[in-house]
């Protein structure tokens, strides 16, 4: 059953027009593979899967970013282009609900990254301010690119950089990874058979073994990580267990992750960190400074935007800016940059992208309306 639009949806549609974002419609049924491959493990567990008459695995759209990007690629539309959407998404939630209204703007092809990032944050703030007038808001901003620059500057092996980048945005996963770095023996594979297959370099045998164990446990390969993904991560974990990060480097990483400051002070905080630790952030720092200046040009309220160095989003396709808008315990809006996504989805040339999504039921709850 398609949910009825709440009264404040008219305010959202009006803002789309004012901001020059073209309303787009995407199919409810979507190919499942892009979500299973790229949307993150937590979302993969909550997708509703089905199958076409030809055997293709499909799903009810669990979000709009990937479908909008797929439609953009298929239409061969030029860029830059701004797409707006408002419609139903379908995913399992712990409270038993499965169908929700979502709205947002996807900004594709703008090559001035700082400008597009700042505009996305400003658009998001304008939308929430309009639908929640008078409600205190907070914008938390993180930066995947700066985090990865710190990891590279600390000299971590590429495998460890990938693992920590995957954990960015998940406090438990990041804490576990840091513990493994400090105490490599804790990260050894506990399954003896899997350890033997890894030691022999028998990747195909490891995949078969993981598949068998999943079947024995009654786990579907399409409901979460595939046997190939699990085997790859087991191999990476086993190979990296002997790597120990020096105390100085580990302390520097923890110091970085503890940085939290109003955006107006964040550049100084990062520059002080770089000076104190000898860590060079290079082009990531240049982009951060340019984005901070571009956001300031939108004249958002002083102190509204806070930079949190440990803030990320556990979706595999984010590459730079990540942000959310919260009010009290409510988190109605999330957003971020995904420059690799369109190429991964089949675009012949790289297309930069940034956008945000709003949960209308959360806005309704914060307004005290009936959803």
pLDDT, one tens digit per residue, over 253-287 is 999 999 999 999 999 999 999 999 999 999 999 99
Instruction: Tell me how many domains the chain contains.
Output: 2
Q: What is the pLDDT of residue 239?
A: 60
- Between 3 and 310, name the one with better pLDDT: 310
Same domain, 16 and 121: yes
Q: What is the pTM of this model?
A: 0.83
Is 337 part of a structural domain of the chain? yes
Same domain, 172 and 309: no
Helix, strand, coil share of the chain (percent; to 5) = 45, 20, 35
Q: What is the pLDDT of residue 71?
A: 96
Of the residues 240, 270, 287, which one is the last residue of a structural domain? 240
Same domain, 127 and 262: yes
Same domain, 235 and 120: no
**Number of CB atoms found within 10 A of residue 73's CB:** 17
- Count, residues in the chain: 371
Q: For strand 99-108 and strand 57-60, is the pairing parallel, antiparallel, or unpaired?
A: unpaired
Nearest to 325 by CA among 338, 337, 335: 335
Q: What is the pLDDT of residue 94?
A: 75
Same domain, 84 and 128: yes
Q: Is pLDDT above 90 for 217?
A: no
Q: What is the mean pLDDT of the chain?
A: 88
User: Which of helix, strand or coil describes residue 39?
Assistant: coil
Is 282 part of a structural domain of the chain? yes
Is 316 part of a structural domain of the chain? yes
Is 52 part of a structural domain of the chain? yes
* CATH code for the domain in which residue 344 is found: 3.30.930.10
Same domain, 343 and 311: yes
Is 320 part of a structural domain of the chain? yes
Query: Taking a C-beta distance cutoff of 8 angstroms, is the pair 63, 15 a contact?
Result: no
Same domain, 310 and 269: yes
Q: Is pLDDT above 90 for 202?
A: no
Angle between helices 158-167 and 227-240 (to 10 degrees): 120
Is 325 part of a structural domain of the chain? yes
Is 249 part of a structural domain of the chain? no
For the stretch 166-198, pLDDT in tens is 888 888 888 888 887 777 654 445 577 887 777
Of the residues 191, 210, 240, which one is the last residue of a structural domain? 240
Q: Is pLDDT above 80 for 371?
A: no
Of the residues 207, 240, 273, which one is the last residue of a structural domain? 240
E strand residue ranges, the chain: 22-23, 29-31, 49-51, 57-60, 81-90, 99-108, 138-143, 260-262, 305-308, 321-327, 330-337, 353-359
Is 54 part of a structural domain of the chain? yes
- Domain residue limits at 332: 9-149+255-367
Report the range of poorest mean pLDDT among 78-92, 110-124, 210-224: 210-224
For the stretch 335-368, pLDDT in tens is 999 999 999 999 999 999 999 999 999 999 999 8
Same domain, 97 and 167: no
Same domain, 231 and 343: no
At 329, list the tokens. 């315990």
The tally of CA atoms less than 13 A away on the side-chain side of residue 208 is: 5
- Between 108 and 53, name the one with better pLDDT: 108
Same domain, 40 and 138: yes
Angle between helices 203-216 and 227-240 (to 10 degrees): 120
Report the range of poorest mean pLDDT among 93-97, 164-168, 208-212, 332-336: 93-97
Helix (H) / strand (E) element for 274: namely helix 263-277
Same domain, 180 and 88: no
Same domain, 123 and 272: yes
Q: Is pLDDT above 60 for 43?
A: yes
């Amino acid at each position: 059953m398609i949910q009825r639009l709440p009264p404040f949806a008219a305010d959202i549609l009006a803002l789309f027009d004012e901001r020059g974002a073209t309303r787009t419609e995407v199919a409810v049924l979507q190919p499942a593979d892009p979500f299973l491959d790229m949307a993150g493990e937590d979302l993969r567990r909550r997708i509703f899967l089905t199958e076409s008459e030809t055997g293709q695995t499909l799903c009810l759209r669990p979000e709009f970013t990937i479908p909008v990007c797929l439609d953009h690629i298929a239409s061969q539309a030029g860029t830059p282009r701004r797409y707006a959407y408002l419609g139903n998404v379908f995913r399992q939630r712990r409270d038993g609900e499965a169908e929700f209204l979502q709205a947002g703007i996807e900004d594709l092809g703008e090559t001035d990254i700082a400008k597009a990032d700042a505009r996305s944050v400003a658009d998001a703030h304008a939308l929430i301010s309009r639908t929640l007038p008078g409600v205190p808001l907070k914008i938390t901003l993180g930066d995947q690119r700066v985090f990865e620059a710190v990891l590279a500057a600390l000299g971590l092996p590429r495998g460890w950089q990938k693992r920590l980048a995957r954990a960015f945005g998940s406090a438990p996963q990041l804490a576990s990874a840091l513990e493994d770095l400090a105490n490599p023996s804790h990260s050894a594979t506990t399954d003896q058979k899997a350890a033997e297959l890894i030691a022999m370099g028998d990747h195909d045998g490891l995949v078969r073994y993981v598949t068998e164990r999943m079947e024995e446990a009654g786990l579907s390969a399409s409901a979460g990580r595939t046997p190939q993904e699990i085997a790859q991560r087991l191999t990476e974990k086993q190979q990296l267990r002997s790597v120990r990060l020096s105390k100085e480097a580990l302390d520097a990483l923890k110091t970085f992750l503890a940085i939290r400051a109003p955006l107006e002070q964040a550049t100084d905080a990062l520059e002080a960190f770089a000076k104190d630790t000898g860590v060079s952030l290079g082009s990531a720092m240049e982009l951060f400074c340019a984005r901070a200046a571009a956001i300031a040009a939108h004249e958002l309220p002083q102190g509204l935007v806070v930079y949190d160095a440990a803030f990320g989003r556990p979706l595999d396709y984010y590459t730079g800016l990540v942000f959310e808008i919260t009010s009290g315990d409510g988190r109605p809006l999330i957003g971020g940059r995904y420059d690799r996504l369109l190429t991964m989805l089949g675009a012949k040339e790289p297309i930069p992208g940034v956008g945000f999504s709003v949960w209308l039921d959360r806005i309704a709850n914060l307004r005290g309306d009936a959803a």
